[in-house]
Amino acid sequence: MEKDRFRFLKECRDGVKVSRDTLLKILQDNKDTEYGKKYDFAKILKSGLEEYRKLPLTDYGDYKEFIERMLRGEEAVLTVYPVEYFITSSGSTNQKMIPMTKKGLNNGFDTFYNVALPDDEEWETAKHLHTSIVRTEKEDKITFLSNVHFLNEREKNPHFFDKFIGGEILMFSKEIGDLWYVKLWLALSEPNMKSIYSIYQYDILLLLQYFKEHWRNILRDMESGSIPPEINLSSDIRDKLLKISLPEKEWFTFVKEECEKGFEGIVKRIWKKCRMVNGIGGKVFGTQEQNLRFYLGDISIHYFVYASSEAPIGIALEEENDSYVCIPHGCFVEFLPLEDDDKNTKWFDELETGKKYELIITNFAGFYRYRLLDIVEVTGFYGNTPMIRFAFRKNQAVNIAGEKTNLSMIAEVVKETAETLGEVITEYSVCVDESVMPNRYCFFLEGDYEKQKEIYSRFLDQSLCKRNRDYEDLRQLNQVAEPVCIHVEKGSHIAWKESLGKQGHNKPVQISEAEEFQKFMKERERRIGIKE
């Protein structure tokens, strides 16, 4: 780990050169692919990399037909590198299938844990909890990014999972059942837990919320050495949990006493050696982070990494700092100034601190000048490598834990629900309801309807699961609750826009995070059966 971090920091001191070398490598290796011939990568290599800026910016639609051919086994279409997996992602269009190559996995994704987290011997020999579960195997070629990452780590280092409580056998399971029961059991089996790993900080918040609600039951089960049949666990997971060595009775007495005092700062009070938690977070998840800190006490937060299904982007080098140092060798990143309509991108040495840019990436899986639609702010530089902070998505999406349900999906979900129920929805909007745990989608609907809102909630949920596999996955893990539907008085959405004094184009309000908007709509709730 120490060597990996030293190598990465050295690379970042000369990030401009490393970044351009990365682009040079990608173009050189892929000049004879179908795409490379179409856009004459060979000519660019002869004329100079500046010519690369003249290629068109792309989105997923530009690659869809190529990827369909790759799914059928065709090679050298977009990339010369063998494709290991196809990553399912919601993104900016409906369902996407993102190629993932071994070359891509070993250029950036492999540095996450070795560079981002502490590299001292005490950290490596300590026990940590990971909130994730891997529900796939190597032969499953269509899967999620986190699964692929862990499969790659297992292949490279069979002992990678030894540091996690429960080890590999409780990290890899297609049928885990009640995830939080398992993870809390593991945490409570290790008084000396050093940290909590996660993909998103939100996962940790859900675990701690589960702890607050169920601590009496799980402590009873652990002390009695039995798991009630009503707990949804496979027989295999149930047996593995019961085989884990547990602390002495005094530990459980201590935990009970601390829980009875309340849950503010509970993590630090119980696991006194816990140093930090890590996971993707930042200002965009501000409310969730605030709630998480209630449970942590003075334990610090590490923001881990910035990555997408398409490419690894950056690594957080310090605790309590949500800026990410770009990974110069992970992909080639261009930055399109937010206010620039001429598509003139900037490279590492042309960026300005404090300015916002849209990320454009060229990766090791056949995407060239691809628009991620993520907007970032440059916060500084490490050496001559930019440090960035995620600001927002250029195309809005509802996002609780990385599922990114976009406007197109929401429109289809509302339309299908109305048609299925035989009713008419004239206006709608959606937001994230953070007043409950797990968080859920909140739909505000206007129209001609007679069905109760609970019926709408059920059908909206089913349609969301059908259109967004990431959402369905989170629902199965109970990381997102069933949506809530609120029928509002006719004219409520127009009234909201009029209250803001909006003039000109009457663009619909379909996704809103504003608390004022949610309050405005809830005050206009229409009760079915009551005349307006």
What are the respective helix, strand and coil percentages of the chain, to the nearest 5?
40, 20, 35
pLDDT at 56 over 70: yes
Q: What is the rounded average pLDDT of the residues 232-251?
A: 94
| pLDDT band at residue 1 using 50, 70 and 90 as cut-offs | low
pLDDT at 358 over 50: yes
Residue extent(s) of CATH 3.40.50.12780 domains in the chain: 2-107+304-393
Model confidence pLDDT, tens digit, residues 256-279: 999 999 999 999 999 999 999 999
The most distant pair of C-alpha atoms in the chain lies apart, rounded to whole Å, by 74
| Best CA proximity match to 197, nearest among 52, 49, 304, 44 | 304
Model confidence pLDDT, tens digit, residues 132-191: 888 766 677 888 888 888 888 888 888 888 999 999 888 887 778 899 999 999 999 999
* Whether 350 contacts 409, CB under 8 Å: no
Note the pLDDT of residue 111. Answer: 79
| pLDDT band at residue 505 using 50, 70 and 90 as cut-offs | very low
What architecture is domain 2-107+304-393?
3-Layer(aba) Sandwich (3.40)
- 398-522: which CATH number, 3.30.300, 3.30.2010, 3.30.360, 2.60.40? 3.30.300
pLDDT at 503 over 70: no
Percent of the chain with pLDDT over 70: 93
pTM above 0.85, yes or no: no
Spatial separation of the C-alpha atoms in residues 39 and 527, rounded to whole Å: 59
Note the pLDDT of residue 150. Answer: 87
Residues ≥6 apart with Cβ < 8 Å to 460: 413, 414, 417, 441, 443, 483, 485
Q: What is the rounded average pLDDT of the residues 354-373?
A: 96
pLDDT at 394 over 90: no
The dihedral of CA 175, 179, 181, 185: what is its sign?
positive
Torsion of CA 271, 275, 280, 282, to 10 degrees: 110
CA-to-CA dists, residue 234 to 140, 175, 237, 296, 398, angstroms: 21, 6, 5, 31, 32
Strands 405-406 and 356-362: unpaired
* Whether 284 contacts 390, CB under 8 Å: yes
Q: DSSP H helical segments within 193-347, as ranges?
A: 201-224, 235-242, 249-260, 266-270, 286-296
Residue with tokens 């990766």: 363
Residue extent(s) of CATH 3.30.300 domains in the chain: 398-522
Torsional class of 87: left (φ above 0), alpha (ψ -120 to 50), beta (otherwise): beta
Q: What is the rounded average pLDDT of the residues 450-460?
A: 90
How many residues in total does the chain contain? 532
Note the pLDDT of residue 532. Answer: 37
pLDDT at 93 over 50: no
Least confident of 345-354, 361-370, 417-426, 493-502: 493-502
Assign 365 to helix, strand or coil: coil
* Whether 41 contacts 30, CB under 8 Å: yes
Note the pLDDT of residue 91. Answer: 46
Q: What is the rounded average pLDDT of the residues 392-402?
A: 81
Spatial separation of the C-alpha atoms in residues 95 and 144, rounded to whole Å: 12
pLDDT at 480 over 80: yes
Model confidence pLDDT, tens digit, residues 284-313: 676 678 889 999 999 999 999 999 999 999
